[in-house]
Structure 1
Amino acid sequence: MMNRRHVLLAAVAGTLVPATRALADSGMSRIPAYAFSFPALSGDDIRLAAFSGKPLLVVNTASLCGYTPQYAGLQQLWNEFRARGLTVIGVPSNDFGGQEPGGSSEITETAHHQYGVTFPITAKAIVVGAKAHPFYKWAAEARPKDVPRWNFHKYLIGRDGYIAEVFPSSVEPADTRIKTAIARMLADS
């Protein structure tokens, strides 16, 4: 004979199993961005876990691209919002047009010396395809229609560690859409 507790547990289990299965079938990853790390341009690791609970703007960059001047705008975002918790991370990549052909010294010259970048820069990474860095594979799984199509593609990661907004290369860092999304995220604490 079943008592009320068993009936209730059976009913709850009956609704949870399909919901859990639907989540798994949807391809949604419960792994947050904070689970990843990148080798830094300087040789150490940039562990995204160090920024847990804070928004991140992750941008694939290139030194010889028409969008390379966006480094200056990214630095301005970093200057404006870092004290409130935003971290900007540049990820140099040679995936598009061979526009990041150099090594760390050339990337350093462009980012740090030409554009005065002080936000973290990773070592050169692959951002698309089968050999993409695990962060970019995760992002492509989470947002398959929003993968990088060129240099300076921007992923805004929310405080929860998941992709909140995606901005294509053509959207400048100083664009109102980016600044508004970041300000809104920083206001939600």
Structure 2
Amino acid sequence: MINRRTMIAGTLSAIGGAVSARTAIAQAAMSRITAYVFSFPALAGGDIRLADHAGRPLLVVNTASLCGYTPQYAGLQELWTQFHDRGLMIIGVPSNDFGGQEPGGATDIAQTAQHQYGVTFPITAKAVVKGANAHPFYKWAADARPMDVPRWNFHKYLIGRDGYIAEVFPASVEPSDTRVKTAIARALAVS
């Protein structure tokens, strides 16, 4: 036979558990990390803080100077010219992770990106983009989209205004591709 105290205690425990579960879910949703918490050392010194661009779509691209895809710098600059005034931020992240195709230092990277291809969007210092030593942004992106991690240079993450990954484009998709431009336009249209 169940006494009244046992029944009340069980009921309160069940209610408390349900409230605790709802609270935990709400806290987890509120604490979801966005891309805007990350920063990168800039190629020319200082930091590129993604929080400075919160609420704006970001295109984060791992780059390399000696890659067959290096001419995509020109296409990225065209996107910058076309969409920057509407709110798009592009950030190039040089990496030596794929084929050792970014062996040089800051001067070499600047020579390729800025002088050879006329890049005016921000470029970070060289960073690791894959594996256990990856930059925290790339670890976050891999956790969010494990099937869409960089497999080569010029992998593109489009971050929406909400700070989460909106689209991912592999290296083989040129910046001038209609899919990229459409995704950017869609991200810019969201308010």
Q: Could you state the TM-score of these two structures normalised by the residue count of structure 1?
A: 0.88
Kindly indicate whether residue 162 of structure 2 is the aligned counterpart of residue 160 of structure 1. Answer: yes
Aligned twin of 1:115: 117
> Is residue 2:184 matched to residue 1:182?
yes
The residue number in structure 1 matching 2:22 is 16
- Structure 2 unaligned residues grouped into runs of 5+: none
1:32 aligns to 2:38 (yes or no): no
1:54 to 56, 73, 78: 56
Corresponding residue SS for 2:19: helix
Amino acid at match of 1:121: I
What amino acid sits opposite 2:187 in the alignment? M
Which segments of 5 or more consecutive residues in structure 1 lack a partner in the other structure?
none
User: Which residue type is aligned with residue 74 of structure 1?
Assistant: L
Does residue 98 of structure 2 align to residue 96 of structure 1?
A: yes
Which TM-score applies when normalising by structure 2?
0.87
The residue number in structure 2 matching 1:45 is 47
Q: Structure 1 residue 187: deviation in Å? A: 1.1
Change (3 A) 1:80 1:94: same
SS at match of 1:50: helix
Amino acid at match of 1:16: R
Q: 2:145 aligns with which of 143, 168, 173?
A: 143
* Number of equivalenced pairs: 180
CA displacement, residues 48-104 of structure 1 (integer Å, 9 cap, x when unaligned): 000000000000000000000000000000000000100000000000000000000
Separation in structure 1 between the aligned mates of residue 130 and residue 18 of structure 2, nearest angstrom:
41
CA–CA separation in structure 2 for the residues paired with 1:131 and 1:125: 9
Greater Cα radius of gyration, structure 1 or 2: 2
- C-alpha root-mean-square deviation of aligned residues, in Å? 2.4
Runs of 4+ in 1 over 4 A off after TM superposition: 9-12, 17-21
